[in-house]
A and B are shown apart, each in its own frame.
Chain A
Amino acid sequence: MDFSLTPEEEAFKKGVNDWLDENMKDLPDWYVRNDGSGPEPESDEYQEFNLEWHKKLYKAGFVGIAWPKEYGGRGATLMEQVIFNEEMAERRAPSGAGGLGVGWAGPTIIAAGTEEQKKRFLPKILSGEENWCQAFSEPEAGSDLANIQTRAVEDGDYYVINGQKVWTTMGMRADWAILLARTDFNPDIPKHRGISYFLLDMHAPGVTIRPLREMTGEALFGETFLDDVRIHKSLMVGEKNKGWYISMGTLEFERSNSNSAIGYLTTISNLIELAREMKRNGQPLSKDPVVRQKIAQFYIEANVAKYIGLRALTRQLRGQTPGPESSVGSLLIMELGQRLQDYAMSLQGPYSRLVRDSKHAIKNGSWQRSFLSSRGNTIMTGTSEIKKNIIAQRTLGLPRWV
């Protein structure tokens, strides 16, 4: 057991921090103040801010750092990627605009794409020139993803796509999508064996996207309608009917949990600050024994998540298959994030009813916003219930219901 970094890793960490010291000086006041006075996260202004930051990261070689050098990456080690993520989380640096492209589409193309696909797509993902979204879920295929009905029928050198997608993350701003569609219509084969993986041009004829307004009032997601959309065969990723396995593989690209946990430690500091500011009967809430118990428990849970994440990372660094700690880690992370946000509402008492742009709203209602978003935590990367099924059946070896 050894938590120390090698001299090379220490040097890398210092390089990241020096760069952040230099470049975070230029961040706008509203970002530094973190008091809710900045633009709304979905607004054009915020997106532009994110893209500007992304370009800086890109120029400094900090986007897709673990990608191979020949495709514009840094060829960094997994450990360096983790150090980078952790430093970014700890310093509360903006995340940049890479999102799904860097986190999901790119790694999939690297792992399963053709040379041509790699050359065509990877550089523009890194530079932020092209935005990506994900078109997997459908109205009848959420947790039961293998039930997708969108059809891709061969027509010469093309596939013709018809169907509807939902929960298309960042769809309205996307240039390209990773898409799952059915290519084998035999009703007698298991559902997940007839699915293929495509790269879809969101500007192609027949693609319509409609914003889907969420409970936050904003629309981060969209509904995508595909009417006779033609996708060239060269844009299929991997083999025909093997899309399910490719998509399951890319789920494993979910980053190490240790940096999510470190992000939560920052949120907990903000929670402590809030508890110090809020007073009840003239006494700061941070002195209330019940509040102290609650916040200490969050801190403990975030650390437990961090160290679960570091055990998972150790296995990954050794090239071993994920152990039980990986599956439980993401469950804890998602549930914890939600509990933290719920408690931030409690601490505000009646002020929790006020939202952005209201007089008297604490931090301009930003906790209220993150509270509403957090209800999606336990749904979007697999519901907590599905995660528990997976832990029970794959990790603990309990029998499936048949």
Chain B
Amino acid sequence: MNFELDEEQIMLKTSTRDFLEKECPKELVREMLEDEKGYSPELWKKMADLGWLGLSFPEEYGGADFTFLDLAVLMEECGRALVPGPLIPTIVLVGHTILAAGTEQQKQDILPRMINGELILTLAFMESNGSLEASGITVTAAPSGDNYIINGTKLFVPDAQVADYLLCVTRTTDGEDKENGISLFLVDAKTNGIDIEVLKTMTGEKLCEVTFNNVSVPGQNMLGELDKGWPIVQRMLNEAAVAESAWMTGGARWALETSIDYAKERIAFSRPIGSFQAIQHKLADMALEVEGATSIMYYAAWAISENHPDIPIAASMAKAWCGETYKHATYDGVQIHGGIGFTWDHDMHLYFKKAKASEVSFGDVDYHREIVAQLLDM
């Protein structure tokens, strides 16, 4: 029995934090909110050079062959630093999906270039119905000779404006069973007929509406088998939930630590506000949630690393718990900071807004609780 990070993982954590404190200061994070690209190509290159993009990929594609748990450690620190840009979409949503379901040709074509930082990848999944279920997929792909023609609109696509490839989840057969008839395509983002419009967001992150108007994709770009794409999506959603949970845990711990520091320094009524029980108990509650988030998130990440049968329930438990934790930590973080916490200048609102965005990414708290209820055969 050993439920702690090992030495190598602790080193990874420390070196990631040191690097990001230097290379991803809040000035950069704030600059990227206004930036058209929404990420720093220089930072992206450095992260690629450090091997982060390929951390969890096999050596044959240029990766470092680490586990998903190691990646979770990295994501936790990226969440703490609010690293701008499509790390989770590139690595987890598309990269890991290609690794899990792609042909050898697809892996060779894309993964080495993704890992060395050349290619940015993203996922075109959700539509205007906001559904995470197979029944929500209405964008169609119809065969035409050796190609497929995609039509329809995807919404909430992260960072499509800079992506080189979109992994598009389409409907190829529409029958009674909605989970049958889903097919996935790797679409070159420069293909004719793709229209990308960046939406304005609360966090400043880049979410896009992507319209496919008779977009022609070669049949060999299909990922997995025709009509059999849904299990690939489900597998991806579990990993996405846990990667997002790691990201949230890192942000929540920042909010907790920053609030503790402030409570020790801020004097009111001639004493540090951290000596008041009203503040102490709030922080104790936050600490409980953050320790809980760390524990359940690492468990879920471990389950993915080991391909353990607990993956679906662990992923949903982690996403539900971390969703609440990050939100509470930043709500209370603002409250403990008082007036200064409500300003644009203080960094707390950056985390506060990210918490709200993360809460609904890949299923909100209620959604994942319902999955847990289903998995308990209720």
Chain A positions within 8 Å of B, measured between CB atoms, are 1-5, 79, 82, 272, 275-276, 286-287, 289, 292-293, 295-297, 299-300, 303-305, 307-308, 310-311, 313-315, 317, 324-325, 328-329, 331-332, 385, 387-389, 391-393, 395-402
Does residue B296 face the partner (Cβ distance < 8 Å to A)?
A: yes
Identify B69's interface contact among A1, A329, A392, CB under 8 A: A1
A388-B302 in contact (CB<8A)? no
| Interface size classification for chain B | 35 or more
- A94 to B150, alpha carbons, bound, how many Å? 63
B275-A400 in contact (CB<8A)? yes
Q: For the complex formed, measure the closest distance between the CB of B198 and the CB atoms of chain A, giving whole angstroms.
A: 35
B284-A331 in contact (CB<8A)? yes
In the bound complex, residues from chain A placing their C-beta under 8 Å from that of B285 are: 388
B1-A2 in contact (CB<8A)? yes
- A392 to B275, alpha carbons, bound, how many Å? 9
Identify B373's interface contact among A293, A308, A393, CB under 8 A: A293
In the bound complex, residues from chain A placing their C-beta under 8 Å from that of B378 are: 272, 275-276, 286-287, 292, 295-296
Closest to B279 in A: A398
Q: For the complex formed, measure the closest distance between the CB of B278 and the CB atoms of chain A, giving whole angstroms.
A: 11
Identify B284's interface contact among A82, A289, A311, A396, CB under 8 A: A396
Does residue B291 face the partner (Cβ distance < 8 Å to A)?
A: yes
CB-defined interface of B276-303 with A at 8 Å, one 1/0 digit per residue? 1101110111011001101110110010
Does residue B2 face the partner (Cβ distance < 8 Å to A)?
A: yes
13 contacts between A and B (CB under 8 A): A1-B4, A272-B376, A300-B321, A303-B296, A304-B292, A308-B295, A314-B1, A331-B288, A385-B277, A388-B281, A388-B285, A392-B284, A395-B287
In the bound complex, residues from chain A placing their C-beta under 8 Å from that of B294 are: 311
Closest to A289 in B: B370
A313-B317 in contact (CB<8A)? no
Chain B positions within 8 Å of A, measured between CB atoms, are 1-6, 69, 260, 263-264, 271-272, 274-277, 279-281, 283-285, 287-288, 291-292, 294-296, 298-299, 302, 317, 320-321, 366, 369-370, 372-373, 376, 378
- A274 to B291, alpha carbons, bound, how many Å? 31
A396-B370 in contact (CB<8A)? no
Interface centre among A296, A297, A310, A311 (most CB of B within 10 A): A296
A314-B292 in contact (CB<8A)? no
- A312 to B300, alpha carbons, bound, how many Å? 18
A392-B2 in contact (CB<8A)? no
- A52 to B264, alpha carbons, bound, how many Å? 55
> Given known contacts A292-B369, A328-B292, A399-B272, is B3 in contact with A392 (CB within 8 Å)?
no
In the bound complex, residues from chain A placing their C-beta under 8 Å from that of B264 are: 397-399
In the bound complex, residues from chain A placing their C-beta under 8 Å from that of B5 are: 1
B296-A304 in contact (CB<8A)? yes
Given A296-B372, A299-B317, A388-B277: 10 more A-B contacts, CB < 8 Å: A5-B1, A275-B378, A324-B287, A328-B292, A392-B280, A392-B284, A395-B287, A398-B279, A400-B275, A402-B275
> Given known contacts A272-B378, A388-B284, A396-B283, is B3 in contact with A293 (CB within 8 Å)?
no
- A295 to B284, alpha carbons, bound, how many Å? 25
